[in-house]
Amino acid sequence: MSQSDIPQSAALPRRHALKFIVLIGVVSLFADMTYEGARSITGPFLGVLGASAAVVGIVSGAGELLGYALRLVSGYLGDRTGRYWTVTIIGYVVNLLAVPLLALAVRWDIAVLLILLERAGRGIRTPARDAMLSHASSQTGLGWGFGLHEALDQTGAVIGPLIVSAVLYADGGYERGFAVLLIPALLSLVVLAAARLRYPRPSDFELAPPALETTGFSRTFWVYVAAVCCIAAGFADFPLIAFHFQKANIVGPDWIPVFYAIAMAADALAALALGRLFDRIGIWTMMLATVASALSVPLAFLGAPRRPSPPWSCGASAWPLRNR
């Protein structure tokens, strides 16, 4: 049954809107533990399976292209059918269950297929989920609502890579690192089911539903799209950076996920601050963040620091990578 088939009710109070945002945030927390934990090691993992740097770069770019292209389709289907929950759930299932299956990959082409499936699932569920979040955020402020969700989301993106790093340091290997991520994947799906049962119609959060007009996209929209394309063209995806770290022997394999966790922690802190700032100064916040991000990209490929040990190693040297 679609959301449009559910009887309209009075607008839900603000406290329920906040609870919904937190629930979806917890879903994203466990989801990010899963796929960001995997993302922190997919580059080196493909290298161990025999893939080249070109393959890693192409797969990273193709995965992002597939994910964002599918957002057009899933977003359209969500709006046309009103089945935002259905689209969201399908996307999360594909997104999350593809990750632990990487533990069974014995060839790099199989791993590539699973990586693409993970990106595809993320692309499918994001527009529908964000549409539901926008209804609840109308009562808390869009910047704060999405900022709170992003902070929870990025908390998982910090924890997941640290778990994988601990598994690698314990000599568990990449297979066990992927396998252990099945736990947060299942937890995410359980919380998602609970949110669906508790709030079957998130549109009831909307205080004043906007009037929709099908008059086409404005010039401002296309300028924004062009800017996003330029930003994406200059973006170095982390799997390629991680592959570089491993091949250039810059850091030990167990430290690479820690670097990713640090980046995700910075993202989580910035989400809350930039969310509040966006509510005050609008688009200038995005411009500031974009410039700061662009200036940092070249630094990932410069220099060769000493290979540190992870925080829990007490100074011990990094363990040798287990080859297949």
**Tens digit of pLDDT at every position of the chain (324 positions):** 444 433 344 456 778 888 999 999 999 999 999 999 999 999 999 999 999 989 998 998 899 889 989 999 999 999 999 999 999 999 999 999 999 999 999 999 999 999 999 999 999 999 999 999 988 888 887 777 888 888 888 889 999 999 999 999 998 789 999 999 999 999 999 999 999 999 998 888 876 655 556 677 788 888 888 887 877 777 777 888 888 788 777 888 888 889 888 888 887 777 778 777 887 888 788 788 878 777 777 777 776 555 555 555 544 433 334 433
Nearby residues of 260 by Cβ (< 8 Å), 6 or more positions away: 36, 39, 40, 161, 238, 242
The pLDDT value recorded for residue 29 is 96
Q: How far apart are CA 122 and CA 39, in angstroms?
A: 13
**Residue 76: inside a domain, yes or no?**
yes
Flag whether 250 is in a domain.
yes
pLDDT at 107: 95
Alpha carbon distance 284, 276 (integer Å): 12
* Contact in structure between 227 and 27 (CB atoms under 8 Å): no
pLDDT digits (tens, 9 = 90+) for 97-152: 999 999 999 999 999 999 999 999 999 999 999 999 988 888 887 777 888 888 88
pLDDT in tens, 79-93: 999 999 999 999 999
Number of domains into which the chain is organized: 1
Contact (Cβ atoms closer than 8 angstroms) between residue 247 and residue 53: yes
Range of the domain at 57: 24-202+221-299
CA distances (Å), origin 235, targets 14, 30, 296 = 38, 26, 10
Does residue 207 lie in a domain region? no
Which letter, b or e, does each residue of 99-127 get, where b requires 16 or more Cβ atoms within 10 Å of its Cβ?
Answer: bbbbbebeebeebbebbbbbbbbbbbbbb
- Is 92 among the domain residues? yes
252: left (phi over 0), alpha (psi -120 to 50) or beta: beta
Residue with tokens 């100074």: 315
Indicate the Cα dihedral angle 184, 189, 193, 194, nearest 10°.
10
Q: What are phi and psi of 151, to 5 degrees?
A: -65, -45
In a 13 Å sphere around the CA of 116, the CA atoms on its Cβ side amount to: 16
The DSSP output letter for 181 is: T
Return the CATH number at 234. Answer: 1.20.1250.20
pLDDT the model gives residue 308: 53
Residue 315 lies in a domain: no
Please state the φ and ψ torsions of residue 100, each to the nearest 5 degrees: -65, -20
Q: How far is it, in rounded angstroms, from Cα 213 to Cα 80?
A: 14
> In 3-state terms, what secondary structure has residue 10?
coil
- No. of H helices and E strands in the chain? 12, 0
With helix as H, strand as E and coil as C, how does 236-254 read?
Answer: CCHHHHHHHHHHCCCCCCC
User: How far apart are alpha carbons 156 and 167 in whole angstroms?
Assistant: 17
- Note the pTM of the prediction, 2 decimals: 0.78
Q: What is the Cα Rg of the chain in Å?
A: 20
Q: Beta-carbon neighbour count of residue 32 at 10 Å?
A: 25
Residue 3 lies in a domain: no
Other CB atoms within 10 A of residue 86 CB? 17
The C-alpha atoms of residue 100 and residue 175 are separated, in whole angstroms, by 9
